[in-house]
Homo-oligomer: A and B are copies of this chain.
Amino acid sequence: MTAFADSSVSPTVTTGPITGSRKVYTETPGGLRIPQRRVELTNGEHLDIYDTSGPYTDPETKIDVHSGLPGLRAPWIAAREPVNGAVSQLAYAKAGIVTREMEYVAAREGVDVDLVRHEVAIGRAVIPANRCHPETEPMIIGKRFLVKINGNLGNSAVTSSVAEEVEKMVWATRWGADTIMDLSTGRRIHETREWILRNSPVPVGTVPIYQALEKVDGDPAKLSWEVYRDTVVEQCEQGVDYMTVHAGVLLRYVPLTARRVTGIVSRGGSIMAAWCLAHHRESFLYTHFEELCEILRTYDVTFSLGDGLRPGSIADANDEAQFAELRTLGELTHIARAHDVQVMIEGPGHVPMHKIAENVRLEEELCGEAPFYTLGPLATDIAPAYDHITSAIGAAQIAWHGTAMLCYVTPKEHLGLPNRDDVKAGVIAYKIAAHSADLAKGHPKAQQRDDALSRARFEFRWEDQFNLSLDPDTARSFHDETLPAAPAKTAHFCSMCGPKFCSMKITQDVRKYAEEHGLSTVEAIEAGMREKADEFEEQGGRVYLPVVNP
């Protein structure tokens, strides 16, 4: 039992494989074991899926939340020397050194390791991996790689506990969260974070100003560089992998929000605006930014430069306050990189569809293509309780345009703290958005899963269709609501159209005919169709009707 493991806290976390799949490890030539989730199909094939769930879905691994996860990266970190005083992936990449983390993510993404090193070296990708968080399975965030998603969790003063938040972390990564952020603002912030860090298989992000504010009794005017700096060091030592820093909220930008419909909606942004206003001085995050870089480079903590002035409504999208801050984030990006600190840029928020592309274009131009990390954006304001959907619409588009990581939004957004069910709803909606973007970007392997699932659907392999889906349990339960009996799992219909038959079968027959006769052109197939027509008549002219829409 480690120091963090308070005996009064005893989280119960979800373990065991996702329905219909099992954990497999592929060993690289370099001896790394890359986890994947293998879906075994009833036709003898299988599909391996990128897996974020960590050891929790591996029945071979003993899970003890009081001990935390094993330190996968500990020997790698111990074995290497700093480069020019820095231990960041960026410093190594610039020096031409391929780290074990780079090897790991290359294998995980199925790309050449030199692409990984190159993208990290030029700052177009980041590998968030604090040397004090050896438990993480390395992952990469960049537009040349699979689109990633982040799940926010953390308690508030009103509700939730340490145990609940640890389970939300395990639950979010089970369904596909690539990183999580601990946004706790309630009691026991340090302890909650410690529990999450020691048990998280994915990088963990935070917003240090939240804890700093707690230390000064919630009064922004009492904040100081010193309190903030000490908090950052405390969190670096704990192992936080990336930190949201709202260093672009400058004093002179605050008035730009005066005529907005929803003013400042970022919590960190509003705290810093309040500080600037109270002292009529420039933000200490901005004036001390180089000192901050010096701290982060010692741990390899990645900056997530926060958009404290992001629009909180359709009316405020792409306004001067937002883009003024973005220009400052660009300036800070180049400073951070000069210090060998990795950087991502946070983005909006609420943006109507026709203003989305402009956000990516400007971010890339101003911030040297640093990975963009956006919250949605919500494409409309009118659907509280469904903002996982309003924002998945915007998220899919902005990711297609080049956003590297999407911060999820749950159905509870604007209404309350998300519970475990909300976390799953948010993760699934964002896996949909991210995967849709991977398809649209032409990611070479993305379509494999769509094709496998569609083939299963076409061949009425219902179990395979469920197991290949993002949420096998729910897909199966929806099907079984009206047709629960086992034979329905091989039936050539569902309750949508009933026990008629499906014309997809004709296509199968035609294709088979063409293959048997070595036909390759449409004309040849059509010739075959005539024969098929006769055969069809002989069989009584019964056809299959599909199970989908008109």
Which residues of A line the B interface, CB within 8 A?
152, 156-159, 181, 183, 185-186, 207, 210, 218-222, 244, 252, 254-271, 273-274, 277-280, 306, 312-315, 350, 352-354, 375, 379-386, 388-390, 392-393, 396-397, 400, 407, 409, 411-417, 419, 428-429, 431-433, 435-437, 439-442, 447, 449-451, 453-455, 457-458, 465-466, 468-471, 474-475, 478-479, 481-483, 494-500, 502-504, 506-508, 510-511, 514, 522, 525-526, 528-530, 532-533, 536-537, 540-550
Contacts and interface: CB of A to CB of B under 8 A. Distances in A.
A262 B495 contact: no
A401 B258 CA distance: 34
Best-buried of A279, A314, A388, A478 by chain B (most CB within 10 Å): A478
A452 to B, nearest CB: 9
A529 B536 CA distance: 82
Contacts of A548: 265-267, 312, 413-414
A478 B28 CA distance: 47
A536 B278 contact: yes
Contacts of A354: 400, 439-442
B277 A533 contact: yes
B440 A353 contact: yes
21 contacts: A157-B500, A158-B499, A219-B541, A258-B514, A263-B503, A273-B503, A273-B506, A278-B541, A312-B454, A312-B546, A353-B397, A385-B469, A385-B478, A389-B389, A397-B397, A412-B496, A414-B457, A414-B548, A415-B475, A417-B482, A417-B495
Contacts of A458: 261-263, 312-313
Contacts of A350: 454
Contacts of A437: 353
Given A159-B498, A265-B548, 9 more contacts: A157-B499, A220-B541, A255-B528, A273-B503, A315-B447, A379-B439, A383-B432, A393-B432, A411-B478
Contacts of A396: 353, 379, 393
Contact of A530 (B159, B280, B379, B543): B280
Contact of A258 (B183, B470, B525): B525
A516 to B, nearest CB: 12
Contacts of A379: 396, 432, 436, 439-440
A432 B306 CA distance: 28
A389 B435 CA distance: 13
A277 B506 CA distance: 10
Contact of A274 (B306, B419, B503): B503
Given A413-B548, A470-B383, A546-B266, A274 B494 contact: no
B504 A244 contact: no
Nearest to A479: B415
Given A152-B550, A450-B313, A522 B389 contact: no
The 7 closest A-B pairs by CB, nearest first: A270-B503, A263-B507, A221-B541, A157-B498, A313-B454, A353-B440, A274-B543
B271 A503 contact: yes
A469 B381 CA distance: 8
Nearest to A519: B258
Contacts of A264: 503-504, 506-507, 546
A494 B277 contact: no
A312 B497 CA distance: 16
A174 to B, nearest CB: 16
Contacts of A470: 382-383, 386
Contacts of A478: 384-385, 411-412, 415-416
A550 B436 contact: no
A330 B389 CA distance: 34
